[in-house]
Amino acid sequence: QITLKESGPTLVKPTQTLTLTCTFSGFSLSTSGVGVGWIRQPPGKALEWLALIYWDDDKRYSPSLKSRLTITKDTSKNQVVLTMTNMDPVDTATYYCAHRDYYDSGDAFDIWGQGTMVTVSS
Amino acid sequence: QSALTQPRSVSGSPGQSVTISCTGTSSDVGGYNYVSWYQQHPGKAPKLMIYDVSKRPSGVPDRFSGSKSGNTASLTISGLQAEDEADYYCCSYAGSYGGVFGGGTKLTVL
């Protein structure tokens, strides 16, 4: 059974750096075709694709946020970390991590974490 | 990379069919057969309903189907049920840019 869980601060100040951790179980991020992505959703608004890291350490970033995002993986700890610099109130959102397995469900996110709400405020 | 375009809302009566469109460009929807659809109920995480344009994950009812023509993908829900009322999002692979979601569509079952 695949599970993912996001963790990190619930409140950050403007200009600070946000660090979120996705801890997962039930799969290995060293298996060919597997990836973990981050998606966010501001309150009452749409989902926004942020970043994705693949089993081979290839990475993809949203073009509009690329300069502020870094995604890394620690295969031994079953964790993926997303950092976002220079946080602003507009970054207030629920942040989700999600599993991707090309050989199971193509490029789709088939299993999602419960999400973690992050508020940016002074 | 602009968000994919979806209607803000659709509605239908129980038993009817509804179709939600998702329009992108040749750099995303039209360029790859990697469109997925997600259902999201209030306060819940999204759930994958369709992947690779028209494939259904195990456990998703066959009332849900997907298709694509050119730069527009579509999700059709037939035999509408009350529990289908939710927000629906499309998502497309976008090559080196990773992926892009649509703006979401609120489905109301009348």
Could you read off the pLDDT of A22-51 as tens digits, one per residue? 999 999 999 999 999 999 999 999 999 999
- Chain-chain contact of A60 with B100 (C-beta, under 8 angstroms): no
pLDDT for res A45: 97
**A84: burial class by Cβ within 10 Å (0-12, 13-18, 19+)?**
buried
What's the pLDDT band for B98 if we cut at 50, 70, 90? very high
The count of C-alpha atoms lying within 13 angstroms of the C-alpha of A64, restricted to the half-sphere facing its C-beta, is 9
pLDDT for res B100: 97
**Cβ count within 10 A of residue A50:** 27
Chain B residues 55-84 with CB within 8 Å of chain A? 55, 57
Query: Is B1 a residue whose pLDDT tops 80?
Result: no
Helix (H) or strand (E) holding B109: strand B105-109
CB A23 within 8 A of CB A7: yes
**Average pLDDT of the residues in B64-68:** 98
Whether the CB of B104 is below 8 Å from some CB of chain A: the reply is yes
Q: Contacts of residue A42 in chain B, CB cutoff 8 Å? A: none
Whether the CB of A35 is below 8 Å from some CB of chain B: the reply is no
B91 closest CA partner among B24, B7, B40, B18: B24
The contacts of residue B46 (CB under 8 Å, 6+ apart) are A39, A47, A96, A109, A112, B38, B39, B40, B89
Per-residue pLDDT tens for B28-60? 999 999 999 999 999 999 999 999 999 999 999
- Chain-chain contact of B91 with A108 (C-beta, under 8 angstroms): yes
Whether the CB of B41 is below 8 Å from some CB of chain A: the reply is no
- Chain-chain contact of A106 with B45 (C-beta, under 8 angstroms): no
Q: Within chain A, which residues score under 70 in pLDDT?
A: none
Mean pLDDT of chain A: 97
* Closest residue of chain B to A99, computed from CA coordinates: B48
pLDDT for res B97: 87
Interface test with B, best of A4, A101, A105, A116 (most B CBs within 10 A): A105
Q: Is B54 left (phi over 0), alpha (psi -120 to 50) or beta?
A: alpha
